[in-house]
Chains A and B, each alone.
Chain A
Amino acid sequence: MTENYEAVVTENYKVAIIGSGPAGLSAAARAAACGLQHILLEKAPHLSDTIYKYQKGKLVMAAPDVLPLRSDLTFKIGAREEVLGAWDRQTADIKTNVRRQAEVTGISGEKGNFTLKLAGGETLTAEFVVFSIGLQGNIRKLGVPGQDRDWVQYQLDDPAEYEGETIVVVGAGDAGIENALALAKQNNVIIINRGDDFVRAKQGNFIGITTAIEKDEIGCFYNAETVLVEDDGIMLATPQGETKVKCDRVIARLGAMPPRKFVEACGIKFPNNDPSALPELSPQYESNVPGLYIIGALAGYPLIKQAMNQGYEVIEYIQGKNLKPADEPLLEEKFAGIPGNRTVDEVLEFIKSSVPLLAGLTTLQLREFLIDSNVHTPKAGDIIFERNDYTNSFFSIIDGGVNIHVDSLDQTRIVQLGKGDFFGEMGLLSGRRRTATVLANAPSLLIETPRRSMIKLINSVAAVKRVMDEVTVGRQIQTYIAPGIPMGDLADVIRSVRIEKFDQGQVLFREGDEGDGLYLIQRGSVTVSREISGKESVISYVAAGNYIGEMALISNAPRSATIRAAVAVEALRLDGAPFRQLMARNVTVRRAMEASYRGRMMANLETTKQPEAGGIIQFLVAQGLGEATDVLLIEESLCVRCDNCEKACAETHQGTSRLDREAGPTYETLHVPTSCRHCEHPHCMADCPPDALRRNPNGEVYITDSCIGCGNCERNCPYGVIHMAAVAPKKPGLLQWLLFGRGPGPGADMTVESKKSKQKTDPAPKKAVKCDMCKDVDGGPACVRACPTGAAARVKPEHFFKIVSQGL
């Protein structure tokens, strides 16, 4: 490159590719192989910045295994260095035209003549533009002189790397707080906050940082701005004037500019404002701006192999070639069982025309949706799922129909659904057990979609969300409040429904408030508390699928208790007037309400007699049991601290215990150890690239072998019960240890042994491990079965709360 930019020569390309991640790199390689005039623009000084920033030696996985790779570059599972090394070599071999440190700041023009502006002021033109910029965004820098000194960093790989340093952390968001807390263990840390509190942080981080500051473990400057980075420290503007803070290192966590803003500035539309929404694309990855293509994570394909395939395909499409997508054989296989020998395209068309819910999807979205889904062809009378199963998949009826047995006692009460309808949405919403048994009533064609794909769809296609909301409101009222009442009679009530959301700890209504309206809890759970001798005391706990507020509605009295969200809650609020009319018209609803009113009144009386029960419930709800489905509790007055529970867990799970007995809080003698609670809406499942986190029909949340060790679930779990561990080597048998002293023995820690062997061989790759409730172990949870004194028990919170309120 020449240094002389005075004569601005605009370069012309057939295709410009922005971002050199797996998608962009593969696209550029294809363009080079086809002899296309192309340029690959990368803002970092190296290729594939996101993977480049992975931890040293991290294993890069090649999921999903079934998908064939279609690229001019190779890719297989390997260490970060190997993967990047291979790509660097091949990119050079194919003679890909790469320009590093070239940040695109704007795009204008139209198909055939786009102009790309670069950060240095240069411009270039291209007929087509491919976006493959991923989701990381541009990291915000300090924006002051000295911001690029080598001891100023904008990310933190491993806090354990630093010891005994004075480190200034800039930024009061979650990333900054987490870094500061982790570093403070062995460093002197000062955090710089532009505001005067930490309220925008997550609850746990908020508590963590404020206590650390109170205890002087971390220093803090409030209302402070960075002015300058000098040779040996950082200059701050504080309300008291400018101060210099000497330090060895500055870590600035100021967030990133989401790529969406940049993408939108180029004219590309997103369906809604949801942060997880994806731009709408044609089957050829073309956006609403003709000539502008989007591939990779930004197009909703976070896996490397998918992204590389798209890179290849997009160049073929740009050249006008017609190409069957790489997933064609997968779909062919999926559709093999469908009668009539239809081609993939025909089946897709058929699905679109039969299911209104899916009609609004682009072909690309539908293909993705179907690859994740399973096709079922049940005969009449086959059971699809049963009441109380813990499955949370979603079913669409392409052909045929089903009978839903909504009442466990009355087999004749059946709701029929036919072609184009869907079911299974209630488990999806509430995260709880199935409320009904469903059987096919004719030879049918059903599509079963996992929760994750369905949620992705709801968030990215507004039409799907709207239809789902409309139908589910009516169905929930029918199921939980007014069983057996035809939808027509409920029309007034349904029209009055508002979906209200509450954050953890927020009050739905207060004792003494004027009461009008009934709340049906659709998701989450709440605590019920009353003022007893001047203090707000919790008296009970109500889970999703139940309603509250009927007492005031029936008695016309003010609210008799305060309702508070135990976790994030979504509730349907039904207006009082139409509901009273419904009760007046319909004797069944009225009786059900009155029965529930009496029951609750009696229960409230009971709990007032058991004042200590409120304390236990309050404590357990504070520990997050409000969203748990099954939790390990330890009665410390029986626990002899032998740790046999942990040993049993490790012995039955590849040498790593998934529970920490001693950690965790205790109330009187009831201890909540650090162990998975199998949440209703597992936080760990939220962001698992290979979808390795699953839930069994019995409720266990577990991790499949497809885990790629990315650590997202570990970070997302608010209870710290997931960690990354390598599989430990096999132990000798019990008798070999007993008679010949071959160690380590049963229950012994194996980390010592594996450390020795580590030096000889490469460390085994670490994967996420968590409690799977011993779903594969005979006799149930090993921790409970191994407890010699009966101190450990796994309980369902609802059940436990009931026992507690009736006296232990």
Chain B
Amino acid sequence: MFQSILIFRNFRYLKWALAVSLFALISYFAFEPFDGNRNGGTWAGYALGTIGALLIVWLMWFGIRKRRYGGGGASVEDWLSAHVYLGLALIVVATLHTGFQFGWNVHTLAYALMVIVILSGVFGLFAYLRVPELMTQNRRGVTLELMMREIASLDAECRAAALPLGDEVNQLVLDAAERTKIGGGVRRILSGKDRNCPTGAAIRGVQHLAEHTVSDNAEGFRALLMLLARKEDLLGRARRDVRFKSLLDIWLYMHVPVSFSLLVALIAHIVSVFFYW
């Protein structure tokens, strides 16, 4: 009933991709150029180049198809499954098209951009296959918004519990409530942790104070530490949730803009090839 894009329709698009790759390999080896130099300028090279260019345009059309919500035709899952497999086949087609001739020029630039796009796509594929399940496990049926609300109410409880425990404790708890952040820079988001988290600092500080002050309020300290620990657990889950969501999104910031650069480089490559025929 639920099929991932890799096994979709009994590997239909994997079979297509294998067929395209096989065709590319056969035409590469079967066609012996006059000078023995296999490159994009031979008939086989033109054929593979044409296929590669069409593939690129078609692969990019996925962005348009995904946003056309009404129409009939193949489903978006069909498109994505084909996008993944044929996108991988593009490496074979394009590499054979180059005839392994690389240099510091616009042609190799187009090739390099293509490789970046495909690699970022492979990362995305990996994220799509791995992260969703981790995300569900981490959430335990609670949405991020609910976690945030619970954190806010724990903050209020912590502050109430800290009141009878002296100024130092109150300051720590206040800091934990006001300065704890979820997210921040890219690195912090992707790490899913915050080493300088004021809540963590408050736990260590309160523990320290509990051990080193003579107080008849041991029960009060214990209650506060329990609350802080619950908050820290929630913070950890919230940070992981944000991390997972960004893992699912971040590669697109590479994949999509570089695709457009690739399109520009590809046009330059084609025009220049014909110009300097």
The chain A residues found within 8 Å of chain B, CB to CB, are 635-642, 644, 647-648, 651-652, 662-663, 665-666, 669, 671, 734, 738, 745-747, 777-779, 782, 784-791, 793, 795, 800, 803, 808
Contacts and interface: CB of A to CB of B under 8 A. Distances in A.
Contacts of B1: 793, 795, 800, 803, 808
A789 B136 contact: no
A636 B3 contact: no
A418 B132 CA distance: 60
Nearest to A217: B153
Nearest to B5: A789
Contact of B143 (A637, A662, A734): A662
Given A637-B136, A639-B132, A777 B70 contact: yes
Contact of B4 (A665, A746, A777, A789): A789
Nearest to B81: A790
A636 B4 contact: no
A795 B68 CA distance: 24
A652 B136 contact: no
A804 to B, nearest CB: 9
A641 B248 contact: yes
A640 B131 contact: yes
A641 B69 contact: no
User: Which of B67, B133, B245 is most buried by chain A, counting CB atoms within 10 A of its CB?
Assistant: B67
Contacts of B72: 778-779
Interface string B123-160: 00001100111011001010100000000000000000
B75 interface: yes
Contacts of A666: 136, 139, 141
B69 to A, nearest CB: 4
Contacts of A800: 1
A42 B66 CA distance: 60
A636 B77 contact: no
B133 A637 contact: yes
Listed residue (B3, B66, B76, B245) with the most chain A CB atoms within 10 angstroms of its CB: B76
B67 A746 contact: yes
Contacts of A778: 70-72
Contacts, number: 94
A789 B133 contact: no
6 contacts: A640-B248, A671-B136, A746-B67, A747-B69, A778-B71, A787-B77
Nearest to B75: A785
Q: Which 3 A-B pairs have the closest CB atoms?
A: A778-B72, A746-B67, A779-B72
B135 A635 contact: no
Given A635-B2, A808-B1, 16 more contacts: A636-B136, A640-B128, A641-B245, A642-B248, A644-B66, A669-B136, A734-B64, A745-B67, A779-B71, A779-B73, A779-B75, A782-B69, A790-B3, A790-B8, A793-B1, A795-B1
A131 B80 CA distance: 66
A795 B1 CA distance: 9
Most buried by B among A638, A734, A795, A808: A638
A734 B61 CA distance: 13
A790 B70 contact: no
Contacts of B67: 734, 745-747
Contact of A785 (B3, B4, B76, B131): B76
Given A791-B2, A808-B1, A669 B133 contact: yes
B133 A782 contact: no
Which of B1, B68, B128 is the most central at the interface, judged by chain A CB atoms within 10 Å of its CB? B1
Nearest to A635: B2
Interface in B66-113: 66-73, 75-77, 79-80
B189 to A, nearest CB: 15
Contacts of A779: 71-73, 75
B51 to A, nearest CB: 25
A793 B2 contact: yes
Interface of B: 1-5, 8, 64, 66-73, 75-77, 79-80, 127-128, 131-133, 135-136, 139, 141, 143, 245, 248
B70 A782 contact: yes
Nearest to A666: B141
A687 B4 CA distance: 42
A778 B132 CA distance: 29
B69 A786 contact: yes
Contacts of B68: 734, 746
A259 B143 CA distance: 46
B69 A790 contact: no
B69 A637 contact: no
A779 B71 CA distance: 7
A636 B80 contact: no
Contact of B69 (A652, A671, A738): A652
Contacts of A639: 132
A793 to B, nearest CB: 6
Contact of A647 (B69, B73, B245, B248): B69
A666 B77 CA distance: 23
A638 B4 contact: yes
A647 B69 CA distance: 8
A734 B79 CA distance: 19
Nearest to A667: B141
A806 to B, nearest CB: 12
A614 B139 CA distance: 23
A648 B141 CA distance: 25
Nearest to B2: A635
B75 A644 contact: no
Interface centre among A642, A662, A671, A785 (most CB of B within 10 A): A785
A451 B241 CA distance: 48
Given A789-B128, A793-B1, A795-B1, A746 B133 contact: no
A648 B132 contact: no
B2 to A, nearest CB: 4
Nearest to B8: A790
Nearest to B128: A640
Contact of B132 (A638, A652, A784, A786): A638
Nearest to B77: A790
Given A641-B135, A644-B76, A788 B2 contact: no
Nearest to B133: A637
A613 to B, nearest CB: 14
Given A636-B136, A665-B141, A666-B141, A788 B70 contact: no
Contacts of B143: 662-663
Contacts of B132: 636-641, 791
A650 to B, nearest CB: 8
A662 B1 CA distance: 21
Contacts of A662: 143
B206 to A, nearest CB: 24
A727 B80 CA distance: 31
Contacts of B127: 640
A790 B5 contact: yes
Given A669-B133, A777-B70, A790 B4 contact: yes
A647 B248 CA distance: 18
Nearest to B143: A662
B264 to A, nearest CB: 15
A788 B80 contact: yes
Contacts of A787: 75-77
A668 to B, nearest CB: 8
A777 B70 CA distance: 6
Nearest to B153: A215
Contact of B133 (A636, A642, A671, A785): A636
Contacts of B248: 640-642
Given A640-B132, A665-B141, A746 B2 contact: no
Contacts of A663: 143
A105 to B, nearest CB: 51
A789 B69 contact: no
Nearest to B83: A788
Contacts of A803: 1
A789 B136 CA distance: 16
Contacts of A665: 141
A671 B133 CA distance: 12
Contact of A786 (B3, B73, B76, B245): B76
A786 to B, nearest CB: 5
